[in-house]
Structure 1
Amino acid sequence: MGRYIKMAESPTEGHPDKLADLIADALLDEFLKKDPYSRVSLEILLISGMTFVSGHVSTESYVDIPGVVRSTIKEVGYNKPEYGFDADTSAVITSIEEQSPEIVLGISSEGAGDTATVVGYACTETPNYMPLPISLAHAISKKVSDMRKAGKAPFLRPDGKVLLTVVYEDDKPLFLKDLVVFVQHDPDVSLDNLREFVHEEVIKRVVPQDLLQKDTRIMINPSGRFVLGGPAADAGQTGRKIVSDAYGDVAYSGGSAFSGKDPTKTDRSASYLARMMAKHVVACGFAKRCMVQMAYAFGVSEVLAFDVETYGTEVIDKERIKSALLDVFPTGPKKIIDFLDLRKPIYKKTACYGHFGKEDLSWEKLTKVEDLKSRLSL
């Protein structure tokens, strides 16, 4: 195949779009904590001094929406007026309506809560079966945030983003070609000191040495100072980082966002199942790369379309793999919810640094390896 590049970006949790996702999932968790059968579909818009919460909710519980919003903003680190956006002074405006009765009927019949195409992907590039570019981008951006929140970099502010490119040859990652890191900072820190800190304390501690070559281009705040950031500098909205939430540019995107949606929404729940299926195929050694694609229609209680792509890396016929996956894993919308135990307040932890590859999530657990192997013994 020759050489080619793959790319990925990872915003920090203080990036306005990611903060919007985080607030949406923090609210979802609160609803589910009090009423596991809450049906929630929320959109968040952030701009200087204001947080807008809109959507449709049906629940038996009460949630202090402004309180959850402000505590989430404060947790991320927007807690000073000089940031232009902070938890204590941000107005919280809500517009919440009850879920449509037609949607209620569709879900009550165990049908899908929406119409969606979903994608799951796994590969052998990393120990958690995620593509290297997105895994590495998330690790770098999370390290920046962790050091700031631990007080080890008090001159950092919450906003930031990582963009990188990895050179591949014959489906194998070779080295890091470009690494760009943007970090928001206090006005009194010099760019030289900032760049040295990020290079020494973040990049060198996260990026494996064998991925850094003499031609690797590393840029830290290449545009210069980055003092004003977050919603004060750029409006944030849920659902605008769907490729970063998934697999980078390595796999297709189903096109739908995840955050703010309860598990009756198959664009979220079925995406998690598709990842679990693909991960099992690779973990069992049946292929080095696997992508699972599914389609759902609102109100329909079974999957409409199902396909598996293994990119020529399979060691067993793909049709057998497809058949075995359908035997082992439940694909009906309600069955997915029960199988993955999705009516719990688990979603806030997914909102930043990817929805996949975190081992404590149910769809990342390899619980069906023996079942799959027994149907596909080589």
Structure 2
Amino acid sequence: PTGRYVNHSSLHDSGLTGRKLIVDSFGGYSPIGGGAQSSKDYTKVDRSGLYAARYIAKNIVAAGLAKKCIVQLSYAIGVAKPVSVSVDCMGTNLGAASDDELSAFVLEKFPLTPRWIIDKFGLDRPGKGSFLYADVAARGQVGNDEYPWEQLDGVELFRALK
């Protein structure tokens, strides 16, 4: 939507893209956009969007709405809110809410802008009390209960859909 993509080079898109793709995709279980997360800084929705999607999916499952859940967030350059939010419970829905209803609910209740994601998970304030990016790179993006995006503080919001 912004027009030409002018700023492209190692100065603007650097890192070890492609590194640890299987780790970043839950050991190959979950689809991934194609780039490694550990090579991106937290302002890139490739990385921060993964954290938001993980958080939402975990809270949907913890709320008892499904046994499994994948949340897909699609962003466009220059557009703060996602252009698409898709919840797929892979046929394991346990409550009355369908995947489409969950998708609409997430879009309505969660701002999902890069700023909201950064603030929600403190991505600009890593520290020993929450997470360190070096640990995330070494242990993987998900699955560590200390990470703020692994918290289940949205369960009550989703239980309203039961």
Work out whether the TM-score is over 0.5. Answer: yes
What aligned pairs does 1:254-273 form with structure 2 within 5 A after superposition? 254-273=33-52
Describe how 1:1-378 pairs up with structure 2 within 5 A.
56=11, 239-315=18-94, 316=96, 317-345=98-126, 346-374=132-160, 376=161, 378=162
State the one-letter code of the partner of 1:369.
V
8 Å CA contact retained: 1:281, 1:287:
yes
Displacement of 1:328 in angstroms is: 3.0
Q: What is the aligned residue count?
A: 145
Deviation track 1:282-337 (CA, whole Å, cap 9, x = no partner) reads: 11110111011111111111101111111111023222211222233221122211
Higher-Rg member (1/2) = 1
Amino acid in structure 2 at the alignment position of 1:351: A
Aligned partners of 2:47, 2:84: CA distance in 1, in Å? Answer: 16
Contact 1:259–1:351 (Cα < 8 Å) also in 2: yes
1:276–1:365 CA contact under 8 A, matched in 2: yes
**Consecutive unaligned residues in structure 2, runs of 5 or more:** 1-9, 127-131
Q: Any unmatched runs of 5+ in structure 1? A: 1-54, 57-98, 101-236
Check 1:356–1:313 CA distance in 2 against 1; reply closer, same or farther (3 A cut).
Answer: same
Q: For 1:356 and 1:309, how far apart are their aligned partners in 2?
A: 19
Taking structure 2 as the reference length, the TM-score comes to 0.80
Task: Let me know the Cα RMSD of the aligned residues.
Answer: 2.0
**In structure 2, what is the Cα distance between the partners aligned to 1:250 and 1:260?**
20
Structure 1 residue ranges (4+ consecutive) displaced by more than 4 angstroms after TM superposition: none
What letter corresponds to residue 267 of structure 1 in structure 2? D
Greater RCO (Cα-Cα under 8 Å, separation 6 or more): 1
Which structure's residues are more often strand, by fraction?
Answer: 1
How big is the shift at 1:370? Answer: 0.9
How many angstroms apart in 2 are the aligned matches of 1:293 and 1:271?
9
- 1: CA distance, partners of 2:33 / 2:17: 16
For residues 238 and 296 of structure 1, the distance between their equivalents in structure 2, rounded to whole angstroms, comes to: 19
The two structures have a TM-score, normalised by structure 1, of 0.36
More off after superposition, 302-311 vs 316-325 = 316-325
Equivalent in the alignment of 2:3 = none
SS of the equivalent of 1:294 reads strand
